[in-house]
Amino acid sequence: MDGFFTISEAKAMFEKGEISPAELASKVAEKIDKVEGKVKAFVNTYCDEMLDKAKGLKEPKTPLWGLPIAVKDNICIKGKETTCSSKILKGFIPPYDATVAERLSAAGYLLVGKTNLDEFAMGSSTENSGLFTTHNPWDLSRVPGGSSGGSAAAVAAGECVAAVGSDTGGSIRQPASFCGVVGLKPTYGRVSRFGLVAFASSLDQIGPITRTAYDAAYLLSVIGGHDPRDSTSAKVEPFSFENAVKEGVKGLVVGIPKEYFSEGLDPEVKEKVEGAISQLEDLGVRVEEISLPHSPYGVATYYLVATAEASSNLARYDGVKYGYRAEGVKDLMEMYLETRSKGFGDEVKRRIMLGTYALSSGYYDAYYLKAQKVRTLIKRDFDKAFETCDAIVTPTSPTPAFKIGEKMDDPLTMYLSDIYTISVNLAGIPAVSIPCGFSSDNLPIGLQIIGRPFDEETILRLAHNYQMVTDHHTKIPPCGGE
Amino acid sequence: MEYEAVIGLEVHAQLRTDSKIFCSCSTSFGADPNTHTCPVCLGMPGVLPVLNERVMELAMKASLALNCTINPMSVFARKNYFYPDLPKGYQISQYELPLAEHGWIEIETEEYGKRRVGITRVHVEEDAGKNIHGGPDDPHSYVDLNRTGVPLIEIVSEPDIRHPEEARLYMQKLRMILRYVGASNADMEKGELRCDANISIRPKGSTELGVKTEIKNMNSFRHVQRALEYEIERQIEAVEAGERIVQETRLWNVEKGITESMRSKEEAHDYRYFPDPDLVPYVVSDEMLERVRSELPELPDAKKERFIEQYGLSSYDASLLISSREMADFFEEAAAACSSPKAVSNWMLGDLAGHMNADGADIEDLRFSPKDLARLVTLVDEGKISGKQAKEVLTVMYREGKDPDTVVKEKGMEQISDEAALIEVIKKVIAENPTEVEKFKAGKKKVVGFFVGQVMRATQNKANPKVVNQLLVKLLEEA
Ligand SMILES: [Zn+2]
């Protein structure tokens, strides 16, 4: 496992003096040199800066002291280009830090680079990136998932020790599942959204992508917590890392929603997920079949709510203030039209149009308002399930990673890739994806564990206990390991 | 046919806060372009609005003063449209659930008497920036975002107004109330108070509503009245000529004194309002509401009634004195420091108002205190100076900020009422004019006037004429 580190391993090695931050940073930089040309996880890397900073690190050891971490390129870092993988923001350098970036800095992290994503986080494969497509380290002909595909691929290939991504409908969990790593979408309001370039404000949430559940819990304890700069940030008890990783899972009740195991689910995925469920039972977890009756409406609801919000959130990219502006236009209207036609990619434009339509007068009640009502019903399904369950277990995605180009001509099929993750965002609850086995093509398969609002501790405890008795998360992908 | 106008006003008032509604940038007026901006009000990627609580307090004060009901929960919504002065591509406003509803204010005209104008709603929103277009040699346009995010309330009236004069009075009353509660400076010249009007006409007596037009760009009280007068005439002429009124937005052209079509209904925006997911609903607790209510000052109508009752003022004088809170406070402080409130009122609305009008000064600009005015009234009351002299003293007080006693002393104006001093002068005058004394003794009582004149001359007009008169008669008889 040379060149692959978890946060906890690196910290232990620092503690014992087995490796210095500068040595760790060079190993990461070497790995990037070796694999980045094939994986293409990063929009920008900052290896020289990382090495310099690693050399200059002073004691005492802060929580992320000397740890090379990658950040999705829709999270603003002061003085660093933030593109959202969009031509319209190419060259945009924010004069401010996202709260998450500020907390990572304060904890002493080393920024490896900004990772690729589907443009403005709209997509499930990074193929919608306005810059380039990231490749899955397990099979370079396949997608890494998305939208946080760059972050997941970078963690899988060992190009960083951990990463942060954002999840609006599965954008952390689905790529984590495709790349064989751990991805946590925290409860809405757990992590500040300040400085996260908005896609769908009521659904977006930043979270960790790591090699282990233990690391995810650790990283969440650094980036989570109330932020006065985000009005939707929750004032709740802080997340307890200790509670998440110290205790066992005996006696916990886990619900298996029957709607998540019906048609469209790949048989291999089904088999591995069911295998994981029996392993949880072996750990003393009680398993119970449940129903989430409104699940079938999740995707439709999501594509009204998310696109409506996106149509408004993306209005600011108009060529007036920053980013791309079309040249040689004759008037204001033409500047708007040309800038936005050329600056945005097809999927972004498709969603802006969908959302604009859903909010238009005469259609608002039938689409946006109806979707908000269904959203409430979906949330109630979960509330009801959590009356008897401590967590819910499902597949993360219906299939393992698909081929690059396979679904690009069919947006609807692409949307179904998030069918199991989307409802969690609509309900605002936390969920984690962990590797639970491999397909016959040696592609990782992900298990999703969904929790009660602000109960990341229980789902991470389940994930951590599972990883203590399994080794799927220790497997190294062909690209990166070679 | 006789027509009647149906007018409703939408008024935007800038709230008096130091910082903007969703960031901590300054709201002060007149700074260099884009110097009062930050990533939040510039609409940069990823930034979020955080509501300034002070904005809601002032908006609640204004709403309560306008007799509105405060909604226990109000919701900020996004009003989506593209314009360079709108950096986010949407304005944060309130739509389905405004802060307050169902209010009214009372206006009074000589011709139509007292009338209540209903207020449909008061909602809170952010201001947009300003586009500046280059001159004839400069093809560029510029955007100044200093004003972006400055807090506003929009006050929407019911279509209860029937006459342009009432519209002007409504605006003036609104301005007075907003200033009273400290919610807004409401300075129309600085754009702190802006007015749009919806107006239609119908045959008098009809209850149906005609097709309305919206008039924008009326930036003074006078223009509100003039624009509406023009528009009513225009609509009547059009209808009489057999034309149909089209629903449209019209701009008041100040130079030409006419309204001009700006855009038709078909060109109107679809604002695609929806609740802003970056902000949580604004919830007003009973405690908060009670606190804000308890902080409300006495409002103009109540103050006017009290002034009439307590100080015995005429309705007209009272309404002038309460026209601003500062004016009313000045009056009350002065009235409390002397025994003649009526005299204080007369001075304030007479000579003092004359001075102030000539200079365009406000009561806040005065260089003397209410107590000084009270002292002036007392000096006249006690006969220390004459009313004529008091006018002179007030002029010096106004120009130089001196207190009346100092002015009186400096000008040597004190009247001589001291009998011993006056007897001496009178005796001397009698001794010097034996011929006139004989005339008096012969029954020509008129010569007293001659002696008074002599005494006044000898005292440089400082003698108290009343006292002189009494003493003269007595001493002449004794002579
Ligand atoms: Zn600002």
Round to whole Å and give the CA distance between B252 and B348.
37
Put simply, whether A94 touches B (Cβ < 8 Å) is yes
Rounded percentage of chain A residues whose pLDDT exceeds 70: 99
Residue A42's CATH number: 3.90.1300.10
For testing contact with chain B, the best of A83, A231, A360 (most B CBs within 10 A): A231
- Domain shared by B155 and B230, yes or no: yes
The stretch A15-32 carries a mean pLDDT of 96
What is the tally of structural domains in chain B?
Answer: 3
pLDDT at A481: 60
Question: How many CB atoms lie under 10 A from the CB of residue B411?
Answer: 13
The stretch B294-301 carries a mean pLDDT of 95
Active site residue A125: no
The answer to whether residues A434 and A467 touch, using CB atoms and an 8 Å cutoff, is: yes
Interchain proximity A316–B51, CB inside 8 Å: no
- Domain shared by B168 and B302, yes or no: no
For testing contact with chain A, the best of B24, B42, B44 (most A CBs within 10 A): B44
Question: With 90 as the cut, is the pLDDT of residue B385 above it?
Answer: no
- Domain shared by B401 and B460, yes or no: no
Would residue A379 count as lying in a domain? Answer: no
Would residue A383 count as lying in a domain? Answer: no
Would residue B277 count as lying in a domain? Answer: yes
Tens-digit pLDDT profile for residues B70-124: 999 999 999 999 999 999 999 999 999 999 999 999 998 888 888 999 999 999 9
B47 contact residues in A (CB cutoff 8 A): 96, 194-195
The stretch A230-259 carries a mean pLDDT of 94
Active site residue A171: yes
B88 contact residues in A (CB cutoff 8 A): 315-316
B272 contact residues in A (CB cutoff 8 A): 311-312, 356, 359-361, 364
- Domain shared by B56 and B95, yes or no: yes
B84 contact residues in A (CB cutoff 8 A): 318, 320, 332
- Domain shared by B70 and B198, yes or no: yes
For testing contact with chain A, the best of B42, B48, B148 (most A CBs within 10 A): B48
The answer to whether residues A370 and A378 touch, using CB atoms and an 8 Å cutoff, is: no
Tens-digit pLDDT profile for residues A423-446: 999 999 999 999 999 999 999 999
Task: Give the contacts of B120 (CB within 8 A, at least 6 positions apart).
Answer: B101, B102, B156, B157, B158
Would residue B82 count as lying in a domain? Answer: yes
pLDDT at A480: 65
Would residue B125 count as lying in a domain? Answer: yes
The range of the structural domain enclosing residue B406 comes to: 298-410
Selected catalytic residue, list A11, A31, A72, A114: A72
Helix/strand/coil (H, E, C) string of chain B? Answer: CCEEEEEEEEEEEECCCCECCCCCCECCCCCCCCCCCCCCCCCCCCCCCCCCHHHHHHHHHHHHHCCCEECCEECEEEEECCCCCCCCCEEEEECCCCCEEEEEEEEEECCCEEEEEEEEEEEEEECCCEEEECCCCCCCEEEECCCCCCEEEEEEECCCECCHHHHHHHHHHHHHHHHHCCCCCCCHHHCCEEEEEEEEEEECCCCCCCCCEEEEEECCHHHHHHHHHHHHHHHHHHHHCCCCCCCEEEEEECCCCEEEEEEEHHHCCCCCCEECCCCCCEECCHHHHHHHHHCCCCCHHHHHHHHHHHHCCCHHHHHHHCCCHHHHHHHHHHHHCCCCHHHHHHHHHHHHHHHHHHHCCCHHHCCCCHHHHHHHHHHHHCCCCCHHHHHHHHHHHHHHCCCHHHHHHHCCCCCECCHHHHHHHHHHHHHHCHHHHHHHHCCCCCHHHHHHHHHHHHCCCCECHHHHHHHHHHHHHHC
A201 contact residues in B (CB cutoff 8 A): 277-278
Would residue A144 count as lying in a domain? Answer: yes
Would residue A151 count as lying in a domain? Answer: yes
Which residue has better confidence, A195 or B469? A195
Tens-digit pLDDT profile for residues B208-258: 889 999 999 888 999 999 999 999 999 999 999 999 999 999 999 989 999
Would residue A259 count as lying in a domain? Answer: no
Q: Calculate how close chain B gets to A207, using CA atoms only, in Å.
A: 16
CA of B18 to the centre of ligand 1 (A): 12
Question: With 70 as the cut, is the pLDDT of residue A2 above it?
Answer: no
Question: With 70 as the cut, is the pLDDT of residue A317 above it?
Answer: yes
Q: Calculate how close chain A gets to B75, using CA atoms only, in Å.
A: 13
Q: Name the A residues in 220-249 with CB < 8 Å from any B CB.
A: 228-232
Tens-digit pLDDT profile for residues A260-283: 998 889 999 999 999 999 999 999
What is the tally of structural domains in chain A?
Answer: 1
> What ipTM did this prediction achieve?
0.96
The stretch B294-308 carries a mean pLDDT of 95
> B258, B288, B318: which is the final residue of a domain?
B288
The answer to whether residues B366 and B334 touch, using CB atoms and an 8 Å cutoff, is: no
> B410, B439, B469: which is the final residue of a domain?
B410
Round to whole Å and give the CA distance between A171 and A173.
6
Would residue A74 count as lying in a domain? Answer: yes
CA of B37 to the centre of ligand 1 (A): 4
- Domain shared by B271 and B246, yes or no: yes
Residue B446's CATH number: 1.10.10.410
- Return the amino acid letter for A342: K
- Domain shared by B283 and B303, yes or no: no
Mean pLDDT over each residue of chain B, to the nearest integer: 92
The range of the structural domain enclosing residue A66 comes to: 7-253+428-474
Would residue A344 count as lying in a domain? Answer: no
- Domain shared by B317 and B426, yes or no: no
Interchain proximity B84–A95, CB inside 8 Å: no
> B288, B312, B342: which is the final residue of a domain?
B288
Q: Calculate how close chain A gets to B247, using CA atoms only, in Å.
A: 19
Would residue B293 count as lying in a domain? Answer: no
Would residue A265 count as lying in a domain? Answer: no
pLDDT at B266: 67
pLDDT at A411: 81
Tens-digit pLDDT profile for residues A171-186: 999 999 999 999 999 9
Active site residue A147: yes
Question: With 60 as the cut, is the pLDDT of residue A482 above it?
Answer: no
pLDDT at B410: 82
Would residue B448 count as lying in a domain? Answer: yes
